[in-house]
Structure 1
Amino acid sequence: MNPLETSLRQEGRRRVAGNTLAFLKNHAPFDKMGAEALQVFADKAQLAFHPAGSEIVGPAAGNVRFFYLIESGKVQARQAGEVTVTEYSILSLGAGESFPIGAVTAGRPSTNTYTAVEDTFCYQLPAEDFLRLMASSPEFNLFCTQYIASLLDQSRRQLQLQFAQRASEQQTLNSPLAGIGSRSPVSVAPETPLRAALEKMSQAGVGSLVIAGEDRQPVGVFTRSDLLDRVVLADLPHDVPISQAMSANPFKLEEHATAYDAMLAMATHGIRHVLVTDAEGKLTGVVSERDLFALQRVGLRQIRQSIEGAHNVEALQHAAADVRQLAFNMLAQGVGAEQLTQFISALNDALTRRVIQLNLDKHNFEGIDWAWLAFGSEGRDEQTFSTDQDNGIVFACPDTDAVDALRQRFLAYALDVNKDLDRCGFPLCKGNIMASNPQWCLTLDEWRDQFSNWIRVPQPEALLNATIFFDFRPLFGKIELAESMRRHLLAQTSSNPMFLRAMAHNALDVEPPLGKIRDFLTDLEPDQPGKIDLKKYGSRIFVDVARIYALATGVHNTNSVQRLRLASKRLSIRDEEINAILEGLDFIQLLRLQHQYLEGEPGTQGDNLINPDTLNELDRRILKESFRQARKLQTRLKLDYQVN
């Protein structure tokens, strides 16, 4: 090549680079990027021509090798296969728009097929240069991060649409009775002795009993009001058959009748229960007045009033069901996971306080300073639909000789509270982390000593206890006692970096289930092949790191999101970095809430096990990104505490 040809080629490259820079400065995010970063893009990107009708990139091409920026023309993005990837099936892209950001960031094949619908020129930046540019340019990195955030918004809208549809189906008086109320009504035969029938009602925890023959044809109903009028006041012997105390000829509707029909019948006949039968007249369910109330938009005000005005546990049981229904309504309205879990916790707090107050009628602690403590997820304001009890008591007793006697009084009281909470839908803790356990009903000095021992000797059991008991909040009583516990805890941990390092080591035992070949590792639960525990391998990672940073920086808050936000300021973590981390936590929590509500049977505790193969492609993509944020948070923790 002669000198003239060389000079012309160099001049051509300079003109192309100049044209590229001029183009970039007219489009986001390049218009905000520094000159050095722009020059890198101009030097590394190649302008390629794609004739109309040609495929630029698609799933069959394997891992995406280029980041594409449209210089001129038009590109159509079409979903590949039948799986919903985004809220659109076809999307048109024009000059200044780029693709496929998620795929090139993740180093995987594109989930969309991108086709030139007219003659098109695209800048092609190699994937390795794209990743270097993300690392070197904060503006470009933020653009890509916001892209992931936009995907999160799309997923939330999908969840909202899904729940709104389900809510609409559930919350209409036109709904058939086949899907309302109890589908497993408690029933006995007409000849059943009255005592046996009452025992069955008590064991099942129900307020009504259906009397039906062997052919499942209902012949009567027995309710709590019947117990007073027809048994107690009538002095009816307990060995007579239940048929002598029942209300005969109960009102019945077939399964295809609507909730409106049942409501009209209750208003017309002054009854509170309607029996549901199939076409042959056989019992299939019972619909109560409460079931019809639950169909309506349950409001926060009504629930709070029902909780605060409850005179017994039965009323609180209904309120607990209303809390779940209202939380579901909020999911349908697109409320975020952070707000929703705090909302659930707030109403559960109110319900717990009412149980505590009701039981004080039987136990007198006047003149004694004490407080009821919540631990674990309740202590963090992070309760989901599936939650058991984690609680304790702290009390003050100046007379050391009287401590044990006072503790026994508190234990008896706590046992009553724990049992009533269990009846309200908060199962007894399998690990016995409850106030009725003498280990967790302690004086203020005993709690301080317990904390100090765990911190001084961070053995595995001590570290496990720290993950539970260091997330505490007072729910009732002398709040100052809990505040004193908090001050002592923060003073102890801030002066013991070895304990924090041990906690960091413990927090790194569980890693996000990201595969090197497959997207996810789904063989971590031997008893649940193909499933991932979103709590153990997801939200717990964020929670554990948040706790460590809060203890290290003196953050008093117990909520994980608040801990991360406040600690990040004191640790000088960039806002965009912590926001991406919190978005990852938020999405995992949303998936947990969705799964627990949709998959859990009414009246049971849903689990946290999801099969990623059942997620649509958008949610799979965001879940993978959320796990990456968890891994990123762990990497920072590993560096900060020099954990190998």
Structure 2
Amino acid sequence: MSNTIAVRIADFLGNFPPFSLLEAGQLLGISEKVKVLYFEQGKMVFSKGEAGHDYFYIVHKGAVDLQKTDKEDLPETIDKCDEGDVFGLRPLFAKENYQINAITAEESILYAIPLTDFKPFAITNSEVGNFLMESFASNTRNPYSNEHRGKLFSEEQDVILKKEALFDLQPVQISKKMLMVTPGTSIQEAASQMSKRKVGSVIVVENKIPVGIVTDVDFREKVVTGKVKTSTEIGKIMKSPVICYSKDLTLAQAQLTMMKHNINHICITKDGTPNTKVKGIVSEHDIIFSQGNNPSVLMKAIKRARSTAKLNRIRGKIMFLLEGYIKSNIPLTHISKIMFELNDATIKRVIDRCIQKMDSPPPVNFAWMSLGSQGRKEQLLQTDQDNALVFEDVPEEKLEETRSYFLKLATKVTKRLNIIGYEFCPAEMMARNPKYCLSESEWKQQFTSWITTSGNDEILLCQIFFDFDISYGDIKLTNAISDHIFDTLKGNRHFIKGLAVQALRNPSPLGFFRQFLVEQDGEKKDLFDIKKRGIMPLTDAARLLILDHRVKNISNTADRFEKLAQLEPNNKEIYQACAYSSKALIKFRTRQGLLHKDSGRFIDLESLGKEDKIKLKRCFKSIKDIQELIKVRYETSFYL
């Protein structure tokens, strides 16, 4: 008769790493040894200086605070562990006392995992070992820690990498176009099939398990030279064993492996060993071809592009580059910088080419402003166009003639951006709209009107235009507008409070019992809107708070929160958590968009694993915390 308690424990543990990395039998064996512990709120699981326990712990229900003590021996919470989080790993790796306190933040049930029973898996299973080592090294599990803010979707390592290094960490593009034959196939037959399939190698398999490989180099050296007859079985000339990797092989690994083993082909198998079926092949030619997706190469290609069709093809390579970065879990900070530069270069090239196609050069200096996610340097996937144009003041009699020129230019630019893949804005918030193609003085008047009128529509428009970045032209024009905005905002508490009310229009996306709030009707019924309910509340909050501090030239949401953490040390943890959550949610949306070939905005929650749902909920705690801060600071209860 099976142990039903152990089965239930195994079902729970199997949802979380490192237990999810174990085989079913191993997991059940561990679960039979687990101790189930109950703690009231405020009880110590272990304390600093205490000898290591014979167990490490995972939270089943409730929450546990991890605390360090300052010089005066006062506790400070550095991390919060909730459902599925592992802590207390020190005895597994270091024979020394605990360095922190672990105390229950609420009534909790913990599973205690015996070290002696689990340690063999950490040694023999590299994935398990790596996970535990990272957890041990960081001592934290979520975005609230100061030094290592969790790893939602393997997010944000505090590293600095060059663009070339980021490129090398991409997964290599795997070819499914491969030829497989049995060892008894004649060389002549194999060569004939290689010619028909137009491939440079043949994988020798038995029951689809790779036992050898023969390349065109082998044919030249052994067959063409007459050393071996064409009637010979191909198994006689194959190289064995085959060098194999899993599908996550990076470009750097592929290059090093080929140099180390003096080979020009690598076989891709299910588990990266020669013991499982062949899934694809990587050749030296594939790696050389992939060099075309290097950011530096793409940037040069954009600047040289002489047609919209060429830019569209380059855009496809940029998306492949993005997908590689996401798969490799490159920190979003680095991904965003590279993608912004490539997007910005594309916009510049389109504008340059459109100016060349105009009947005359621009009559006065102008600036093209990117708004929304591109203005905030957060645009990874191709989303709607949001842009505007400002031109130098001209005499009244020249105003409409000048505007007509720039409207014609903007129409050409937005049309070509649409061909490349940037959809037209449904609300026509584009530079081709006369409302958003204005002179410097007109823009200043427009912002004065928006800020002093302070209706809901005006505030919404202001929010969009507060997040602009110059993509092309004279930076003096956009700086003048920015200075005017801050001068007009000075002392205008009524408008700031209006912004605060707008920042609260999308409350925390969790309802009763921490359930996700999904769309209730329409085409997107039962889907979760991660932009509206997750990303935008953080964006709105960061914009409000940074404007109130009168900080210029920081438009990125995460950067704004990091700056706020410096300006308000007493709220540092909240702001850092929001910065982390902003990046994590954008990265999660990007993953979904790449997976489903769309904007990633609407998510089918049923398709997510339990672990991802829990991690999303942690991010949404940041929304609740920052909105509570805004309610208190700006006394918005009267307006809500």
TM-score (norm 2): 0.62
Percent sequence identity over matched residues?
22
Distance change >3 Å, CA 430–CA 142, structure 1 → 2? closer
Matched with 2:112 is 114
Distance 1:97 1:611, change over 3 A: farther
Match of residue 596 from structure 2: 599
Distance 1:421 1:92 in 2: 57
Q: In 1, Cα distance between the equivalents of 2:311 and 2:143?
A: 48
2:375 paired with 1:398: no
Task: Name the counterpart of 1:224.
Answer: none
SS of corresponding position for 1:512: coil
Say whether 1:337 aligns with 2:332. Answer: yes
Aligned to 1:310: 305
- The residue aligned with 1:156 is 155
Is the 1:152–1:622 contact (alpha carbons within 8 Å) kept by the matching residues of 2? no
Sort the Cα spacing of 1:87 and 1:177 in 2 relative to 1 into closer, same or farther, 3 A.
farther
1:171 to 167, 173, 179: 173
Change beyond 3 A, Cα 1:114–1:498: same
1:546, 1:255 → 2: CA distance? Answer: 60
1:323 partnered with 2:318: yes
For 1:591 and 1:106, the matched residues in 2 are separated by 29
Displacement, 1:567?
A: 3.4
Q: Is the CA contact (8 Å cut-off) linking 2:557 and 2:582 kept in structure 1?
A: no
Structure 1 residues 63 and 521: CA distance shift in structure 2, 3 A: farther
Aligned to 1:389: 385
Q: 3-state SS of the aligned residue for 1:392?
A: strand
Residues 489 and 295 of structure 1: is their aligned pair in 2 closer, same or farther, counting only changes over 3 Å?
same
Amino acid of the structure 1 residue aligned with 2:499? M
Instruction: Name the SS of the counterpart of 2:524 in structure 1.
Output: coil
Q: In the aligned structure 2, how far is the partner of 1:550 from the partner of 1:481?
A: 22
Change (3 A) 1:412 1:143: closer
Give the corresponding residue for 1:365: 361
Residue 453 of structure 1: CA displacement? 0.8
Aligned mate of 1:521, from 511, 517, 522: 517
Distance 1:519 1:416, change over 3 A: same
**Residue 632 of structure 1 aligns to which amino acid in structure 2?**
D
Q: Which amino acid aligns with 1:176?
A: K
Query: In structure 2, what is the Cα distance between the partners aligned to 1:622 and 1:331?
Result: 17
Give the alignment's Cα RMSD to 1 decimal. 4.3
Aligned to 2:455: 459
Distance change in 2, residues 1:414/1:150 (3 Å): closer
Q: 1:531 to 1:92 in 2, by over 3 A?
A: farther
Assess, with a 3 A threshold, how the Cα gap between structure 1 residues 76 and 256 changes in structure 2: closer, same or farther. Answer: farther
Bigger Rg, which one: 1
- d(CA) in 1 for partners of 2:195, 2:602: 37
Deviation per residue, 1:127-179 (Å, 9 max, x gap): xxxxxxxxxxxxx9999933995642673399xxxx99x964x602x32389x
Conserved? CA contact 1:64–1:109, under 8 Å: no
Matched position secondary structure for 2:501? helix
Structure 2 CA distance for partners of 1:371 and 1:106, relative to 1, 3 Å: farther
**What is the aligned counterpart of 2:424 among 388, 411, 428?**
428
Q: How far apart, in 2, do the equivalents of 1:79 and 1:368 lie?
A: 64
Structure 1 gap segments, 5+ residues each: 1-51, 120-139, 179-251, 265-289
Specify the alignment match of 2:36 in structure 1: 57
Per-residue deviation at 1:304? 0.7
Alignment of 1:202-351 (within 5 A): 298-351=293-346
Task: Give the paired residue count.
Answer: 454
Whole-angstrom CA distance in 1 between matches of 2:195 and 2:471: 46
User: Within 2, Cα distance between the matches of 1:596 and 1:562?
Assistant: 23
Which whole-Å deviations, capped at 9, do the CAs of 1:426-448 have from their partners, x for residues lacking one? Answer: 11111111111111000111111
CA contact (8 A) 1:53 1:118 kept: no
Q: CA deviation at 1:396?
A: 1.5
Deviation at 1:386, TM superposition (A): 3.5
Instruction: Return the alpha-carbon distance in structure 2 between the equivalents of residues 95 and 527 of structure 1.
Output: 58
Give, in whole Å, the separation in 1 of the partners of 2:586 and 2:33.
41
Q: What residue is the counterpart of 2:263 in the other structure?
A: none
AA matched with 1:595: Q
Q: Which runs of 5+ in 2 are unaligned?
A: 1-30, 61-82, 118-138, 158-165, 180-192, 203-215, 217-284
Q: For residue 601 of structure 2, what is the aligned residue in structure 1?
A: 608
Q: Distance in 1 between matches of 2:362 and 2:624?
A: 50
- Mapped to 1, the partners of 2:200 and 2:575 lie a distance apart of 48
Q: Structure 2 CA distance, aligned partners of 1:502 and 1:577?
A: 22
Cα distance change, pair 106–544 in 1 and its aligned pair in 2 (3 A)? farther
Residues of 2 paired with 1:462 and 1:573: CA distance?
33
- Equivalent residue letter for 2:144: T
Provide TM-score, normalisation by structure 1: 0.62
For 2:497 and 2:599, how far apart are their aligned partners in 1?
34
Residues of 1 paired with 2:460 and 2:477: CA distance?
23
